[in-house]
Amino acid sequence: MLLATAVTGVVFAASVAVIGTADAASTLGASAAQTGRYFGAAIAAGKLGDATYTGILNREFNAVTPENEMKWDATEPSQGRFTYTNGDRILNQGISMGAKIRGHALLWHQQQPSWAQGLSGSALRSAALNHVTQVATHYRGKIYAWDVVNEAFADGGSGARRDSNLQRTGNDWIEAAFRAARAADPGAKLCYNDYNTDGVNAKSTGVYNMVKDFKSRGVPIDCVGFQSHLGTSIPGDYQSNLQRFADLGVEVQITELDVAQGGNQATIYAAVTRACMAVSRCGGITVWGIRDSDSWRTGENPLLFDASGNKKAAYTSVLNALNAGGPTNPTTPPPTTPVTSPPTSNPPSGACAASVSLNSWSGGYVATVRVTAGSAGVNGWTVSLPLPSGSALTSTWNATNTGTTGTVTFHNVSYNGQIAAGGYTEFGFQGTGAGPTATPGCAAG
């Protein structure tokens, strides 16, 4: 199958546990919102001038996701040169609808710009984390959730990671990407997304084990996306697979739903919808496109509207399943790290200042350090921070470090050494034991 990917944003409305016939909503988004869920569509900026397309979009959906407009090749076509024109069009479309937007996708082994394909090792690692930081910062506060990493596990029975240029930068690259995304946009939910994980199998279990490990170590992951590109059947353990992930404490989302047309298309769509409604932590469903003619699955007619924009039997089956109700989806915001306030005033010209915030648990912590420039800006910085006795640094992102115990020194990397006057950058690290309580020192240059 093609490796098309997406995920979608969310609008929440008042919640009820069961929807009676008299209260049934007449559109997908409104019916989903009755239980705190969303029903969204992946959309393309180039189709927003199509009146039929946008008419259905505005009427039926309460969430949108970009098909391609926020991927690496679209947002950073040459290294360090970021372009957001089409991504911003998707964002503005969602805002105009009163919908929320999910960003897709920060890192993926496909659709990398050619310059990134030519990198490897530490150069690729730095470029990838810089990409995460810059794009998430551009959309900071505007995206409901980010698809941080996409399709990083291999098909087949191994349950192992996919071999890719990103994987070859180090097995902790996914963790580093999630931490960089949290630092760049603390308010967005952070998700992992993959395909062929709809039932309990080796691949989904590999993802499950990663998520379980991340949750146990305080790695910031809030949601898991299940693409659900289905044929003429649905795994019998579809709902129980969603539930086992939800039991880890993450939201589950059906991110790219489409079903090959056949005699049971409507039945499968209804079964998927009922499964989401039955799992309280299922945030919602996104279909990958609007009309059959918009689908990447040419000739399979896998969507809810035909090429002319007419509702299909599958549409009615979904609407009925949504209106049947189910457990209310909890609408609590994603966890955020308590932040120590940065300096109340900028440091002097040519100087810098640093502040630290902690997310701690028994036996470990994650620290986020903000480096703020003075009135003249800085070109390079060094931060020193004493760690408590028994504390040891285990990993660092968006900086390099000298030492792992006692007083540790952090230096900027290539992409975040220059900070404009009054501006700031952030880096982070993880450690064992108690987190630092001292004020970090900062030297410019």
Q: Catalytic residue, from 60, 67, 76, 256: name it.
A: 256
Active site (annotated) includes residue 151: yes
> In Å, how far are 133, 321, 324, 379 from 17, measured between CA atoms?
39, 14, 10, 56
Active site (annotated) includes residue 300: no
Q: What residue type is 7 in one-letter code?
A: V
Give 376: exposed, middle or buried? Use CB within 10 Å, 0-12, 13-18, 19+. middle
> In Å, how far are 13, 130, 140, 318 from 33, measured between CA atoms?
5, 36, 24, 14
Dihedral of alpha carbons 371, 430, 132, 136, sign: negative
> In Å, how far are 45, 56, 104 from 68, measured between CA atoms?
9, 20, 8
Task: Give every CB contact of residue 50 below 8 A, 6+ residues apart in sequence.
Answer: none
Q: Catalytic residue, from 151, 175, 251, 426: name it.
A: 151
The two tokens of residue 310 are 């007419």
The two tokens of residue 246 are 């939800």
Task: Give every CB contact of residue 4 below 8 A, 6+ residues apart in sequence.
Answer: 67, 229, 256, 288, 296
> Which residues are identified as catalytic?
151, 256
